[in-house]
């Protein structure tokens, strides 16, 4: 299959290099590009961080890679694979394999005893069960991607059986920006109460176990290598810094 | 393409459910499964963490998904896509899209002034330049995957022009265990010196800028959302906890 142009250019037989509006929208069943849902690099009001943001904007212009062709290779249940041909500012070309993913949410849910809700799930790619923060992929309906806040409430209830009175965005990151468009939004869920009898259930192909750990023990489990899922490592350590800054309530 | 069996079972025309040794090796150009390179869940000597490890082993048995068919869909430069059919312990079946990746390293390199070496790189999947720790994919030659320690030295020199007198493994995590086999090993590099005239250069398709940040400023950049690459978020916060535990040398 590699080398056989399956994109629009296969109609013309011409070399595939063709300029299109930039950034191109990925051709999977999504109305907007994952990058367009990225939070703006808004000024933080902190001079040192804002200077780093200025540097990143300058790097966009200097290092930017313009996508000139996007060839769909596979369209799966919630991820797709596309091969992008890019041209750099110096005119050189390269090829990038891109896993197109609608994005996801990860939820740090703290109960009234400041214990963190964790789920254990078997992961085929890692070949083992893993201890993780509740998380899930954004739903896509008719090409429209779910709002991350809605997804956070949904995933928390599906995976843990709890609803949150408060759901606050406390961060976000790209899971593997070298090859995947997955952006994860991190939420802090508090004011938890059990869902009633109308509880949303896990997806049919999810098999989860719920547990609770005092948040300091969760941080220790990250440092000890017992929690080794990047989104959970990042989420728990970000939460830990936040709770430590607040002071020793627990 | 979906639905058309392209694996070995297309030879027989029989339904593809067929038991094979487990775990199956991914069919891309790798001699061993990424999961086989995962560090063992060795006892930590800390009762609370060891009890979590016991729980994970029990969950392996209870929640484990047995891969009964693995269909290659795409084989790219350094990643492949395969569709796995799995059977759970209750006999139910499901399908998983798996991005097969050889694994990678990420390097937290501290200079003698305790500044962290960072690289800025344009990332097509995120549609922008990102500030990250030096990192890179493990090389694969004749189906043999590079030792992560060797890769850490190589990537540090390629991406920053520095060599490390000390390279210590301080952690590791799966970037996206729901859909990718990428395991990242995290190293702390110290005793840095500029590489001589025989310096390894970045890959031809990499265009990088080097910068330095005092490690506390790097932590602030993570908390402020300026660094938003998961491996760098996790690596910088893990390093931060380690340096804070050592005490206020800087």
CATH 3.90.79.10 domain extents, chain A: 104-246
Interior angle at CA A39, CA A176 and CA A148, nearest 5 = 80
Average confidence score pLDDT of chain B? 83
pLDDT, residue B224, reads: 94
DSSP code of residue A229: B
Mean pLDDT of B67-86: 89
Contact B60 A122 (CB under 8 A): yes
Q: Do the Cβ atoms of A130 and A158 come closer than 8 Å?
A: no
The partner residue sitting opposite B73, judged by closest CB among A52, A74, A220, is A74
pLDDT, residue B13, reads: 36
Contact B128 A60 (CB under 8 A): yes
Q: Which of A101, A226, A242, A113 is nearest to A174 (CA)?
A: A101
> What residues are paired with B117 via a beta bridge?
B212
Q: Do the Cβ atoms of B65 and B87 come closer than 8 Å?
A: yes
Q: Is the pLDDT at B33 greater than 90, yes or no?
A: no
Compute the CA torsion angle B66, B71, B75, B80 (nearest 10 deg). -30
Using CA coordinates, name the residue in chain A closest to B37. A126
**Torsion sign over Cα A134, B233, B151, B128:** positive
Q: Where are the beta strands (DSSP E) in B13-146?
A: 65-75, 80-88, 93-100, 104-109, 115-123, 128-132, 135-137, 140-141, 144-145
Q: pLDDT tens digit string along A162-215?
A: 999 999 999 999 999 999 999 999 999 999 999 987 788 777 677 899 999 999
Angle between helices B47-63 and A215-223 (to 10 degrees): 80
Contact B126 A2 (CB under 8 A): no
Place of tokens 């110096």: A90
B237 vs A contacts (CB less than 8 Å):
233-234, 237-238, 241
- C-alpha A238/C-alpha A234 separation (Å) is 6
Q: Which two tokens stand for residue B120?
A: 């800025």
pLDDT, residue A187, reads: 98
Using CA coordinates, name the residue in chain B closest to A84. B124
DSSP code of residue B229: B
Q: pLDDT tens digit string along B191-228?
A: 999 998 778 877 767 789 999 999 999 999 999 999 99
Q: Do the Cβ atoms of B250 and B215 come closer than 8 Å?
A: yes
Mean pLDDT of B164-188: 96
Contact A126 B177 (CB under 8 A): yes
Q: Which of B159, B226, B179 is nearest to B80 (CA)?
A: B179
In CATH, the number for domain A104-246 is 3.90.79.10
Q: Do the Cβ atoms of A153 and A167 come closer than 8 Å?
A: yes
Contact B223 A238 (CB under 8 A): yes
Q: Which two tokens stand for residue A160?
A: 């843990």
Q: Which of A226, A222, A217, A248 is nearest to A237 (CA)?
A: A222
Along the 250 residues of chain A, how does pLDDT read in single tens digits? 333 333 333 333 333 322 222 333 454 434 445 555 555 677 888 999 999 999 999 999 899 998 888 888 898 887 889 999 999 988 999 999 999 999 999 999 999 999 999 999 999 999 899 999 999 999 988 778 899 999 999 999 999 999 999 999 999 999 999 999 999 999 999 999 999 877 887 776 778 999 999 999 999 999 999 999 999 999 999 999 999 987 665 5
Most A CBs within 10 A among B179, B240, B246, hence the mutation to make, goes to B179
Instruction: Specify the higher pLDDT residue, A103 or B1.
Output: A103
Using CA coordinates, name the residue in chain B closest to A184. B230
Using CA coordinates, name the residue in chain B closest to A1. B74
How many Å lie between the alpha carbon of B14 and the closest alpha carbon of chain A?
Answer: 23
Q: Do the Cβ atoms of A78 and B228 come closer than 8 Å?
A: no
Contact A223 B207 (CB under 8 A): no
Please give the model's pTM, rounded to 2 decimal places. Answer: 0.86
The partner residue sitting opposite B84, judged by closest CB among A23, A124, A182, is A124
Residue A46 region by backbone torsions, left for phi larger than 0, else alpha for psi between -120 and 50, else beta: beta
Mean pLDDT of B69-85: 88
Most A CBs within 10 A among B213, B230, B237, hence the mutation to make, goes to B230
pLDDT, residue A79, reads: 87
Helices and strands in chain A: count of H runs, count of E runs: 4, 12
pLDDT, residue A162, reads: 96
For residue A39, give Cα distances in angstroms to A34, A60, A172, B73: 11, 16, 9, 33
**Torsion sign over Cα B60, B65, B69, B71:** negative
Place of tokens 């406390």: A170
For residue B238, give Cα distances in angstroms to A214, B107, B234: 19, 12, 6
- C-alpha A186/C-alpha A236 separation (Å) is 10
Q: Which of A127, A152, A139, A146 is nearest to A231 (CA)?
A: A152
| Beta carbon pairs, A and B, within 8 Å | 281
Compute the CA torsion angle A37, A69, B27, A125 (nearest 10 deg). 0
Q: How confident is the model at residue B186 (pLDDT cuts 50, 70, 90)?
A: very high
Q: Do the Cβ atoms of A162 and A193 come closer than 8 Å?
A: yes
Most B CBs within 10 A among A66, A84, A125, A169, hence the mutation to make, goes to A125
């Amino acid at each position: 299959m590699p080398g056989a142009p399956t994109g629009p250019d296969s109609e013309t037989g011409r070399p595939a290099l063709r300029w299109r509006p930039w950034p191109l929208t990925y051709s999977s069943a999504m109305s907007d590009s994952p990058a367009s849902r990225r939070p703006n690099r808004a000024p933080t009001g902190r001079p040192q961080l804002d200077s780093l943001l200025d540097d990143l904007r300058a790097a966009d212009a200097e290092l930017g890679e313009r996508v000139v062709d996007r060839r769909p290779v596979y369209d799966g249940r919630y991820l797709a694979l596309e091969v992008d041909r890019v041209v750099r500012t110096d005119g050189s070309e390269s090829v990038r394999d891109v896993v197109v993913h609608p994005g996801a949410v990860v939820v740090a849910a703290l109960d009234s005893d400041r214990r963190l809700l964790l789920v254990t799930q078997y992961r085929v790619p890692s070949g083992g069960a893993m201890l993780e923060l509740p998380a899930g992929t954004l739903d896509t309906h008719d090409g429209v991607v779910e709002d991350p806040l809605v997804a956070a409430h949904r995933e928390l209830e599906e995976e843990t059986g709890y609803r949150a009175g408060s759901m606050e965005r406390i961060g976000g990151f790209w899971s593997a920006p070298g090859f995947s468009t997955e952006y994860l939004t991190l939420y802090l869920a508090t004011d938890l109460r059990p869902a009633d009898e109308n509880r949303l259930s896990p997806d049919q192909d999810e098999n989860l176990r719920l547990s609770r750990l005092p948040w300091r023990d969760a941080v220790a489990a990250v440092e000890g290598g017992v929690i080794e899922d990047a989104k959970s490592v990042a989420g728990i350590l970000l939460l830990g810094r936040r709770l430590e800054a607040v002071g020793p309530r627990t």
